[in-house]
Amino acid sequence: MGVELLTTTRAFRRRLDLHREVSRADLLDCLDIAVHAPSGTNRQPWRFVVVQDPELKRQLADYYRRGFGAYLSARTPRPDQLADLASGRYLAEHLHEVPALVVVCALGRPPAEPSALRSASFYGSIYPAVWNFMLALHERGLGSTMTTAHLVYEREVAELLGIPGEATQVALLPVAHLLPGAHKPAPRRTPAAEVTGWDGWDGPMPKRQS
């Protein structure tokens, strides 16, 4: 795996091929790479639910759209966020057409009394697996976007897919082959040198970002 894979793996939405099936073999290969991620005390808390049934996808996408709509109506986007939100809207409208929707869960529930340590341990033990999965997909010419909007309806989705109450959903990953397109690094506002302090915090506290 090269640096290029790391810098060009990004939120793929409009480039998802909605008409080409994704095989279970490809999904399992990539999930096998996901489960090589690190986790606190090597708990390996991941569970995955792959949804390919059209009716289940339709219902899952409906919950996603409602969650995404609520998220959109609660915020005023910055001008530099408009393009991302437009492609977010595209994904929301087409989610049920994406060949596979992978719901990623972590065994257990987030800490009831969150502390920095417990929260980091809970979520930090699952998101590296999500990222491994996204990198593995991209390496094979598939792609995804990390999404969380459906979590507004976590309970309803748990019921729909038979996910037990002791498991926590953390992401919904739409998976498809990628349509041909540019292979550019994801743009970022600041180079690392501007967000790095040496031997201590460097620079003023930025304004809170939405």
Ligand X SMILES: Cc1cc2nc3c(=O)[nH]c(=O)nc-3n(C[C@H](O)[C@H](O)[C@H](O)COP(=O)(O)O)c2cc1C
> In sequence order, what DSSP letters do the residues of 121-161 get, joined into one string?
HHHHTTHHHHHHHHHHHHHTTEE---B-GGGGGHHHHHHHH
Q: How far is the CB of 124 from ligand X (least distance, A)?
A: 12
Distance separating alpha carbons of residues 27 and 49, to the nearest angstrom: 11
Q: Is 147 in the site for ligand X (CB under 6 A)?
A: yes
Q: Is 60 in the site for ligand X (CB under 6 A)?
A: no
What are the C-alpha distances in Å from 17 to residues 6, 8, 21, 32, 102? 21, 18, 9, 23, 16
Binding mask 85-124 toward ligand X (x if CB under 6 A, else -) reads ---x--x---------------------------------
Closer residue to ligand X (CB): 33 or 92: 92
Q: Is 146 in the site for ligand X (CB under 6 A)?
A: yes
Residue closest to ligand X when measured from CB atoms: 10
Selected range binding ligand X among 36-44, 72-80, 110-118, 141-149, rule: CB under 6 A: 141-149
189 in Cβ contact with 69 (< 8 Å): no
**Footprint of ligand X (CB under 6 A):** 10-11, 84, 88, 91, 145-149, 186
